[in-house]
Structure 1
Amino acid sequence: MLKGIIVLLFFQFIGECISKLFSLLVPGPVIGMILLLIFLMIRKSSFKSLDNAVFIHLRYLPMLFIPAAMGIITQVDILKKEFWAILISLLLGTIIALIFSAKLMDYLTDKKAKNEL
């Protein structure tokens, strides 16, 4: 499990370095997560210690939403002022994501069916 935590911290560190070096608006942990995804896609599998480290962290994931909820509560005046813009963007974003996901699933299932023939 220690190896898994070290891998997670390594990718977060690399992401932070890239974010600071190039003055990006994207947070370092997000860049690190994308790099970890690319690493795992190239490797085509995970390893036991990384799986264990991730499983332990996933138990505490809901606690990460508490600061975001508190941030929303403190910005009620802005939410009231920009209610319609927020509502429309949420609805449009959800619809676009659903359409994209459905098209991607159609494409992938068609591709899988062609490969099985």
Structure 2
Amino acid sequence: MLGALTTLLTLQLVGEVLVRMVGLPIPGPVLGMALLLAVLTVRPAWRAALQPTADGLLRHLSLLFVPAGVGVVQHLQRLGDEALAIAVALTVSTWVGLLVTAATVRALIPHDTTAVDNGEPR
């Protein structure tokens, strides 16, 4: 377990270092996860070694939200002051996400406009 945790944290650290050295506009842990995917693609046997530790981390994932919750509570006044801007940003981003998803699905699903549906299964 210690080796697996060390591997996961090392990949996260490498991702963080690369992001800071190169100046990439993505979080270091995201690049670390991409590196993990690359490692598991090249060495699929590592999956069995990493799986129990990853499962354990995922089982306790909710604990990682405690610091974020504390931060929200500490900034309740600011959240109240910015409530309108936050509500607008959440609403607009939700609708933009829905519209982009709908456009993507529509573009990817083939549809024949010349066919007539006569009720028979295809």
TM-score by length of 2: 0.66
**What residue identity is the alignment partner of 2:89?**
S
> What RMSD over aligned residues (CA atoms) do the two structures have, in Å?
3.1
Unaligned runs of 5+ in 2: 111-122
Query: Structure 2 vs 1, CA of residues 50 and 106 (structure 1 numbering), >3 Å: closer, same or farther?
Result: farther
More helix by share: 1
Aligned residues: 109
Q: Deviations over 1:40-92 (max 9, x none)?
A: 68549672122222101011110111110110111122111111111111122
Matches within 5 A, 1:17-32: 17-23=17-23, 26-32=26-32
Does structure 1 retain, via aligned residues, the 8 Å contact 2:40–2:47? no
Percent of residue pairs identical: 32
- In structure 1, the partner of 2:33 is 33
Query: Structure 2 vs 1, CA of residues 18 and 107 (structure 1 numbering), >3 Å: closer, same or farther?
Result: same
Which aligned runs of 4 or more in structure 1 are off by greater than 6 angstroms? none
Unaligned runs of 5+ in 1: 111-117
Does structure 2 retain, via aligned residues, the 8 Å contact 1:2–1:49? no
The higher radius of gyration belongs to: 2
Higher relative contact order (CA 8 A, sep 6+): 1
